[in-house]
């Protein structure tokens, strides 16, 4: 075989390596984008636990620390995350955001109906104390939402 006959193999191997690099970068790029909403998922898990603790504290100590909690937790979550909280009993439900009390809410047929940022959310109304939340985060024009 002459040396010129193997030049095709060199270009073939080079093309395969180049394609592998391109596919590798595309996979890493897509993987990075998929991981964008994890912050609010973790915040949702924390909020489930902390919200229950605040309700317990209010009942045990006969105090109302809900507004303080909503402001403090929203500051902890960061400015790029919006959180809406629903607290209350069957007799009265209230909607809070990161700055405190927003408005009273009603219930229809055992469901709490809240409109947040133009989107309607329904939650089942339970007997006793109720705690629900909606966490919103916009990342590169896409909205990520977590509720309980």
What confidence tens digit (pLDDT) does each residue in 29-40 have? 655 455 455 688
DSSP-derived secondary structure for the chain: --GGGGHHHHHHHHHHHHHHHHHHHHHHHHHHHHGGGHHHHHHHHHHHHHHHHHHHHHHHHT---HHHHHHHHHHHH-TTEEEEEEEEETTEEEEEETTEEEEEE-EETTEEEEEETTEEEEEE--SS-EEEEEEEEEETTEEEEEE-
Confidence of residue 1 (pLDDT cuts 50, 70, 90): very low
Kindly state the average pLDDT of the residues 83-98: 83
25 pLDDT higher than 80: no
pLDDT in tens, 105-147: 878 888 888 888 888 888 888 887 788 888 888 887 888 888 8
pLDDT at 38: 66
pLDDT for res 63: 82
């Amino acid at each position: 075989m002459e040396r010129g006959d193997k030049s095709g193999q060199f270009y073939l191997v080079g093309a395969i390596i180049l394609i592998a690099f391109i596919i590798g970068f595309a996979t890493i790029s897509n993987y990075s984008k998929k991981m964008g909403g994890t912050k609010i998922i973790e915040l949702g898990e924390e909020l489930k636990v902390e919200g229950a603790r605040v309700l317990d504290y209010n009942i045990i100590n006969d105090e109302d620390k809900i507004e303080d909690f909503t402001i403090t937790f929203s500051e902890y979550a960061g400015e790029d995350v919006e959180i809406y909280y629903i607290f209350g009993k069957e007799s009265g439900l209230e909607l809070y955001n990161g700055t405190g009390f927003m408005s009273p809410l009603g219930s229809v047929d055992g469901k709490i109906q809240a409109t947040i940022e133009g989107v309607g959310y329904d939650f089942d109304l339970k007997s006793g104390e109720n705690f629900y939340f909606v966490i919103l985060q916009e990342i590169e024009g896409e909205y990520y939402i977590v509720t309980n």
